Structure 1
Amino acid sequence: MFALDFINTVAFGGVVLFAGHGVRRALPWLARYNVPAPVVGGLVVAVVVLIARSRGVELATFDTRLQVPLMIAFFTTVGFGASVSLLKVGGPQVVFFFALSTVLAVLQNVVGVALAQPLGMHPLFGVLNGSVTLTGGPATGLAFAPQFEQAGVSGAATIAVAAAMVGIVSGGLIGGPIGTLLIERHRLRQPLRGPRLGAPPLATHIVEHQLNDAAEPSAPAGEDKESYALLKGLVVILVAMWIGSWVGARFTAMGITLPAYIGAMLVAAAIRNVDDVAGVIGLSQRVIDDIGSVSLSLFLVLALMTLQLWQLAAVALPMLVILAAQVVLVAVACWPMFRLMGADYDAAVMSGGLCGFMLGTTANAMASMETIVDRYGPAPRAYLVVPMVGAFFIDFTNALLITVCLNIWS
């Protein structure tokens, strides 16, 4: 048996991460359904560990003490994306879509709890198979897993990843067809203005553009501009994490159950909005997003390598029942969402995107919308609204919603 310390564990995780990219290239359907490379690589290791365990062999022990700091760093970068100026750029449509998405997240938890109890499961099992992993994705599920474990949901991390994977695949399967059905039924075809080439744009890139983040970074004389911007972004993130740990401790002292990242995310949002007005720091959202992407990838691969997949055996049936109901809920919700967002072509594209990020990730939403616009033509309003809500704002209300559920049923 190999015993890896925390440096060796992160190094091994990095190798596993790039192995995940290799598997995605070898199996194109994984990329088609937007299954992240860290998830692919980490699950491969978890499956190997499961097989070895079934034969009475323990392959390795991992020191994952850096997992939590990496998780907090990622969600801190999410906080830096929560700019009020984005809401102003997006206008009422962003606010309205955000509000409707939040209502749907609430309904996901209502459905989850309503089904969990008759199935003999803890109410929080339903929440874990609700907005935690579907609206939040695997990162949010893994971040909240310790709190769910403490509240009585055994194997919360493993359940979270399994539910998130079902959601990602389901969202990828139904998003495009639902948008297409709405367009065809209501005869909303747009004139196609030439073929669209390449992969769908990243949501973070769209948001960076809206924040006018394309300007050349500045630096003191004699300093490399890119390295200075990277250093500044890293230090600001660390400061937000530092202050956020104090904020989180104050909430805990008040008896409020919170995940470790909430304080840092709130502090980051405050810093972002103050800097938007004062311009003292001059934050680069592009740099912050890059740091967040690295943190998320390493966090996910470390968390997934150590999953105890054998814990799924006892909960597979109730989990699948709840998740099937969640897929139906989101699919049905697309119709009122379409009506409320204007019942036009962009609203149909947004409805397809809704399936993506309410059942998996914003990458799913972008891929679903890309499938639609490839066939029917551009949807500029949808490409403005969905990334803003799916990539940043919904994470805030979802975290608060999950926290409320934890404090009710713990």
Structure 2
Amino acid sequence: MEITLNGYYTLILATLVLLLGRFLVKRIKFLEDFNIPEPVAGGLVAAIVVYILNIVWGYSFNFHQGLQTATMLMFFASIGLSADFSRLKAGGSPLMIFTIVVSVFIILQDVVGVAMASVLGLDPLLGLVTGSIALTGGHGTAGAWGITLEEQYGVVGATTLGIAVATYGLVAGGVIGGPVARHLIKKLGLKPAAANPNPSEVERLAGEQSLYSTKHNEEEVHGNKEMFEKPDNIRLITASSTIESLALFAAALAFADIMTLLAQDTWFELPTFVWALAGGVILRNTLTMVFNFDMFDRAIDVIGNASLSLFLAMALLSLKLWQLTDLAGPVLIILLVQTLLMIGYAYFITFKVMGKDYDAAVLSAGHCGFGMGATPTAIANMQAVTDRYLPSHKAFLIVPMVGAFFVDIVNATILQIFTKLPFM
């Protein structure tokens, strides 16, 4: 029996999934420790229930796609509207260098994913799903690209696989980040702060960190952590700021719709959500740099986080878990290789390029976090290291900015190039 739910019931179910997820994350320590998002925790339970209903009684469900698409586009627009390029000045050259390091890794991640998928007899496009789509991109990018791959390229199970891979990445990124950083710090001869026998060395390193703790940088650090890493924090927003922010979202989505139509069947054809992200970037930086417009970042953040949660809840409700049966073995092999690649790259490349010092070790832990999972995982990795050793204002300035929005812009560009290659 096929049951079709309209937008109202789809929204009601999505909200119930989010409430279930919040309950599970608060009650199950594993979910909290590894920063599993509430929509993922509740959505996977809902997907299992839907799967059982289908297997046992033959029920299948169709959910309102328009609402899911709208929330997806609003999430990507929020990334663009948050991408203030003037913040590059706050991070300086280390921010630029780290962005390049991350960009090179995204390319390697996709090359490995595509190559491994081809060797194992899978569609090369599924290699992108087990590459930067789900790992560097996280659940939001996995859901968006999964829909695109299924509808435009006919890749069966792309969304389901993407969500599963992104969940694996969250756990793996949280597991490997700390050990990588601790091993690197041991090479530097540092010991935990509470037991460091050389106080003068601790003072010297702490003094170096203070170079990054100016008032402006502190505001950037704490601002980014609050905006992007703590979606449950209270935001001081007003009705007028919300309305103005919604107008910006509407403009970004209108731009995406127009550009999707104009670019159709041309060499610069892009998925609509990429245009939404690009529209947000253009709108944000034009208004702030040319017209000196004061953006309401807090309102943009609230709307973006809410949109992402609803999108993930609806995407997970629509999962068809039975599509993963034949992919389980090959995908596990690819993910193990990707995990080893992340460890090796963070240890030998990220650490050395970023200066081979304590900050570089903390940045390596952060890179493991969002290279495999998401920016909150990166922050958790770095906090685990800095709580044990020394502060790293440089790392907490750079990682939130790169992981929260710059990496999504780079990832979308690289993925678009990969999908246009002749062997894909």
Determine if contact 1:257/1:407 at 8 Å carries over to the other structure.
no
Determine if contact 2:176/2:343 at 8 Å carries over to the other structure.
yes
Determine if contact 1:188/1:344 at 8 Å carries over to the other structure.
no
Give the structure with the larger helix fraction.
2
**Paired residue for 2:15?**
14
Q: Is residue 2:315 matched to residue 1:299? A: no
Fraction of identical pairs, as percent: 37
Letter in 1 for 2:389: Y
Query: How many aligned positions are there?
Result: 391
Say which SS state the counterpart of residue 57 (structure 2) adopts: coil
Say which SS state the counterpart of residue 136 (structure 2) adopts: coil
Determine if contact 1:102/1:397 at 8 Å carries over to the other structure.
yes
**Paired residue for 2:243?**
231
**Offset of 1:90 from its aligned partner?**
0.6
**Paired residue for 1:100?**
101
Unmatched runs of 5 consecutive residues or more in structure 2:
195-201, 203-218, 229-234
Say which SS state the counterpart of residue 17 (structure 2) adopts: helix
Say which SS state the counterpart of residue 65 (structure 1) adopts: helix
**Paired residue for 1:267?**
279
Q: How far, CA to CA, are the matches of 2:411 and 2:324 in structure 1? A: 25
Say which SS state the counterpart of residue 307 (structure 1) adopts: coil
**Offset of 1:258 from its aligned partner?**
2.1
**Paired residue for 1:379?**
392
Letter in 2 for 1:375: R
Q: Is residue 2:81 matched to residue 1:80? A: yes
Q: How far, CA to CA, are the matches of 2:394 and 2:50 in structure 1? A: 46
**Paired residue for 1:70?**
71
Letter in 1 for 2:276: A
In 2 relative to 1, CA 203–78 (structure 1 residues): closer, same or farther, beyond 3 Å? farther
Letter in 2 for 1:258: L
Choose from 248, 259, 264 the match for 1:247: 259
**Paired residue for 1:213?**
none
Letter in 2 for 1:371: A
Q: How far, CA to CA, are the matches of 2:63 and 2:220 in structure 1? A: 32
**Paired residue for 1:388?**
401
TM-score, with structure 2 as normaliser:
0.87
**Offset of 1:284 from its aligned partner?**
1.3
**Offset of 1:396 from its aligned partner?**
0.5
In 2 relative to 1, CA 59–318 (structure 1 residues): closer, same or farther, beyond 3 Å? closer
Choose from 315, 320, 326 the match for 2:327: 315
Determine if contact 2:221/2:397 at 8 Å carries over to the other structure.
no
**Offset of 1:24 from its aligned partner?**
0.7
1:209-246 residue CA offsets vs partner (Å, 9 max, x unmatched): 89xxxxx99xxxxxxx7111111111111111112211
Determine if contact 1:87/1:94 at 8 Å carries over to the other structure.
yes
Q: Is residue 2:198 matched to residue 1:186? A: no
In 2 relative to 1, CA 250–189 (structure 1 residues): closer, same or farther, beyond 3 Å? farther
Q: Is residue 2:365 matched to residue 1:352? A: yes
TM-score, with structure 1 as normaliser:
0.90
1:166-206 residue CA offsets vs partner (Å, 9 max, x unmatched): 1111001111111111112222457569xxxxxxx998832
Bigger mean CA offset, 58-67 vs 10-19: 58-67
In 2 relative to 1, CA 203–264 (structure 1 residues): closer, same or farther, beyond 3 Å? farther
In 2 relative to 1, CA 28–10 (structure 1 residues): closer, same or farther, beyond 3 Å? same
Q: How far, CA to CA, are the matches of 1:182 and 1:355 in structure 2? A: 13
**Offset of 1:86 from its aligned partner?**
1.0
Bigger mean CA offset, 58-67 vs 343-352: 58-67
**Offset of 1:317 from its aligned partner?**
0.8
Bigger mean CA offset, 81-90 vs 355-364: 81-90
